[in-house]
Structure 1
């Protein structure tokens, strides 16, 4: 009977209609706390403790619900965050911006540079369109893709409040490339109470050899892992190390300045030819729904966030 139900649910038009109705009602009609509890249960197969959160993941989900400041919206907006970066640490850390628009019909050959760039939106989570040769672009397809992306509100899926009120926009930026034409390593600095604590390094992103190493700020290995699912691969740490960025100390110092207002924030950087470029600020890493292993470290890292001042 269970197999028949699963077949109907996943393989029939009626099942697809049920899926559509369920997810539409969940995303649009359910209270935020219901969606957050459901998403956590679906991904972790356990109930979420929001009354007395202890783990880092639980506290990230608590912050989703109860720490809603306009600054979060500005910093999650990949266009508006540029003014935050400029005022806090200086515009020399910003990737060059070529163009921005709210109208996908503006995506035309004359606005795309002749050298590598990335086209992305400012209001969601995920990658963009890498452009190495604008002559290879299908502009009608490109406009349709970004029309769809502009119509979506990432908040509805995750209830990460900071995305709710972002004005959707398309931005075209310089694509950072190493001398051999590859994407540089990105360093994600996890900050607690405005202080850099650990650094996530993704290696081989977008390939079957996608690894994720974790280091403390002195570049010693962390005794835990916090994996994601990338395609069909879990981003486990590699057996090998990567060298620390030359500007590691400055990266941590700048992250402290940017994360200063927040209980928890992840500040992303690119290190290209020993020069730092800001990537983005994220407040709910993996939406607080991926295990930290061994599990004791979910609790240990959770102890670093004091929610008392937010709970008053």
Structure 2
């Protein structure tokens, strides 16, 4: 019996020793991989600087964007001969930095831009804006509404009946969202400089309480290039990509969302395009998200770095060629100045 115990102890010690060696080897590989990645980014920076007006003020964002794309797609962006969608979004991050981008990324302050460009009535009614979820006055709200964080994407709660709202889960969702910065690790710099808020707005779904389809107009220099159409969010999200004539060439965009066939041109199609173009004027690229409910147009948000510029699949390469903005002019970087502000 004692021999068995000693043997078991020796085996356990041997196993612990092997596990320790495995962890040491894994850590060594990670350190080596990180050093190799640092070296490759540094070499690419030196090459890109010979062609592009990169300065030390670009360096941190350049590094983050390269690491992000490497992690997501296993490659670096081509910032010089960028033909596809992802490369051009990385270019926009670095060379089309505007303070207005921060304002229009903020889902609350965007409303000022919408009123200036389109007039009143193009945003869902804003009920409340607060620093904390706990400050929301639910007694003052209607039965249906939508709660959002203003500084990220994804922190959205559609409330179709406030009596059935799980307050604890909702509080956890928005307390977590408001406690953390968003976007910086993806190079989506504009989100990082938005004062974080939680807000409540009108629910604009149809009478059957289904969420309306998303009309995501991708715009270059104030001109719509194509539509990314998303629908059936409540029963199985689907996508289509539509040209300006309302046709579907059948080339998908996401590559991980089922491709549908449900698009029909709305009666206010031309007005939607006009709204998107007015809102996008002044930027080399921006995606303008609209809704059409009972013939009325609502602005959802403006997105300057869709998916962080890391869409998988060949569809992004096909549609990226439509983003033919001028890449011979560059704005000076403003991110370091924003970082220095208190």
> Is the CA contact 1:199–1:215 (under 8 Å) kept in the aligned structure 2?
yes
Distance in 1 between the 2:329 and 2:159 partners? Answer: 46
Distance in 2 between the 1:84 and 1:295 partners? Answer: 29
Aligned twin of 1:306: 326
Aligned twin of 1:204: 232
Q: Does 1:182 align with 2:203?
A: no
The alpha-carbon deviation at position 296 of structure 1 amounts to 5.4
Distance in 1 between the 2:241 and 2:169 partners? Answer: 38
Among 276, 281, 285, the residue aligned to 1:255: 276
Q: Does 1:293 align with 2:321?
A: no
Higher strand share: 1
| 1:88–1:37 Cα change, 3 Å | same
Aligned twin of 1:86: 115
Alignment deviations for residues 213-265 of structure 1 (CA, whole Å, 9 cap, x no partner): 1111110113522115xxxxx21422x24211110000001111110111111
Distance in 1 between the 2:311 and 2:183 partners? Answer: 19
Distance in 2 between the 1:285 and 1:214 partners? Answer: 15
Aligned twin of 1:235: 257
Aligned twin of 1:66: 95
Distance in 1 between the 2:239 and 2:166 partners? Answer: 34
After superposition, the CA RMSD in angstroms is: 2.7
TM-score calculated relative to the size of structure 2 = 0.76
Distance in 2 between the 1:298 and 1:206 partners? Answer: 27
Where 1:50 maps in the other structure, the secondary structure is coil
The alpha-carbon deviation at position 187 of structure 1 amounts to 0.6
The alpha-carbon deviation at position 298 of structure 1 amounts to 5.0
Alignment deviations for residues 58-116 of structure 1 (CA, whole Å, 9 cap, x no partner): 011111123221100010000000011011111211111111111332034324x2321
Distance in 1 between the 2:313 and 2:250 partners? Answer: 11
Structure 1 unmatched runs, 5+: 229-233
Q: How many equivalent residue pairs? A: 283
Aligned twin of 2:145: 117
Distance in 1 between the 2:290 and 2:92 partners? Answer: 23
Structure 1 or 2, whichever has the larger Rg, is 2
| 1:295–1:279 Cα change, 3 Å | closer
| 1:275–1:294 Cα change, 3 Å | closer
Aligned twin of 1:162: 190
